[in-house]
Amino acid sequence: MLILQKESKQALYEQIYDQLKEQILTGKLQEKSMLPSTRTMAKMLDVSRNTVESAYHQLCSEGYLSSKACSGYRVEKIETNLIFPEYDQQNGARIEPKLEINEQGWGAEKTSKISFQYGRLEFDDFPIRTYRRIINQILLSPEICSISSYNNRVGELELRREITKYLFDSRGVRCTPEQIILCSGMPACISLICQLLMKHSKLIALEEPCYDTVRHTFQNHGFGVIPINVIKDGIDGEALAVSGAKAVYVTPSHQFPTGIVMPVNKRLGLIEWADKNDAFIIEDDYDSELRYNSRPIPSLQSMDRKGRVIYTNTFSKSFAPGMRISFMVLPVTLMEQYRTAFNRYNCSVPWVEQKIMSTFMKEGHWSRHLRKISVTNKKRHDALVIAIHSVMGDRVRIHGKNGGLHIILEVINGMKEAELIRNALEAGVRVYPVSGYYADSSRSKGNQVLIGYSSLSEDEINTGIRILNEAWFSS
């Protein structure tokens, strides 16, 4: 039976079409079954015959029905399982697939009072007034006409110049604006690097554990991934030396997720390995700005004199993940290959976002913003560490403090990761797994959780730690 809403803005023939199509796809109208004639259907629905004919003709043109002269309209065979993988034959209702929401997905926030989510920034830290003023300034300027054109293929020169100055002043990176390529997020950077390195080698050594999105990006491009254990001072150089890899991805300034900082001697040894083995180092310097009790060690790229380091960074951890601006600095040895392979690619970062960021940096707001968030996040970091020590004492161990936006908490109470997370969530606090950052999750210690703090107030941090203490240690 069809039910028409004559007061609806949707045309009547579209309503007939939609309902008949739905009945065919869900199996209510079986293959080879006959539909009422257009005259009969029009009387049943109290509509004109032309209305029914329009719906029938559309279904015929899409292959749901067939018609022959003097024999009416017949339902065609439709492989409904190709459209809806599962549906209830008895009731004709669709069974929607269950979507798994990642532990850091948006759906996670609904069931917890406090979320120690990594990578989510506090909106109050964002310079919204300055940002709004710059947007208005750009929209009213003659330059706005650039939005209707394809622009510089590697990113606007003005922004690349600002990044060049910033990298040299803060990280010692030596490059020209021509070596900088802007990308829409770190996976986009890694994707381009994959395509550059494919002819060189299809084996990549990765820290174990490491940023899982990077590992998946390499795997999706057909690379063989070689996990190399992270030891007390960073990636295991001896294991790397015998791995056979011609490229390695590292996070030396604040290893993710362990928080280990690679010392200078090890950095120099890594560069020496790359030079001797005709290999490349992909340096992800993602939160190098956020050091709380010491100055950052200069970047790997700043020590490289052989053109072996591909430097990558992002504005997502220090400014705004939603802007999706990351960048890489290619060594001169790879620039010609890049120009040849990607000379028809357009920059994936919107022109407006590039213009906003270049203006923000040129007017001095970027350096002021970094100073502000460094102070703010240090306060959160210190509040978290003090709360853990005072409330949980020696029943936990903190790993990776003094930088970045997270710590790893090792909980010594006999519980494993899943139980720690479950008990915390039942108490209204969300903490996050560490095991997923391992290529082989059995290598993780099993009693650790990841604690992010960049989106929480000091009061929320203190409350969250007290709740976790009760959830994990109350008898």
pLDDT tens for 280-323 read: 999 999 887 888 877 777 899 999 999 999 999 998 888 888 88
Non-local (6+) Cβ contacts of 189 within 8 A are: 181, 183, 312, 326, 327, 328
Q: Which fold has domain 150-363?
A: Aspartate Aminotransferase; domain 2 (3.40.640)
Name the pTM for this structure.
0.77
- Provide the pLDDT for residue 442: 84
Helix (H) / strand (E) element for 72: namely strand 72-75
The band of 140, judged by pLDDT with boundaries at 50, 70 and 90, is: very high
Cα 35 to chain center, whole Å?
49
Q: Which fold has domain 106-119+368-473?
A: Aspartate Aminotransferase, domain 1 (3.90.1150)
The band of 410, judged by pLDDT with boundaries at 50, 70 and 90, is: very high
Mean predicted confidence (pLDDT) in 152-181: 94
Other C-beta atoms lying within 10 Å of the C-beta of residue 149: 7
Asked whether residue 83 carries a pLDDT value surpassing 90, the answer given is no
The band of 393, judged by pLDDT with boundaries at 50, 70 and 90, is: very high
Q: Options 3.40.190.80, 1.10.10.10, 2.30.30.40, 2.160.10.10; which CATH number does 12-94 get?
A: 1.10.10.10
- Provide the pLDDT for residue 80: 60
**Angle between helical axes of 458-473 and 417-426 (0-180°, round to 10):** 120
- Provide the pLDDT for residue 443: 86
Mean predicted confidence (pLDDT) in 133-150: 91
- Provide the pLDDT for residue 178: 96
Asked whether residue 154 carries a pLDDT value surpassing 60, the answer given is yes
Calculate what percentage of the chain has a pLDDT beyond 70: 93
Ranges of each domain in the chain: 12-94, 106-119+368-473, 150-363
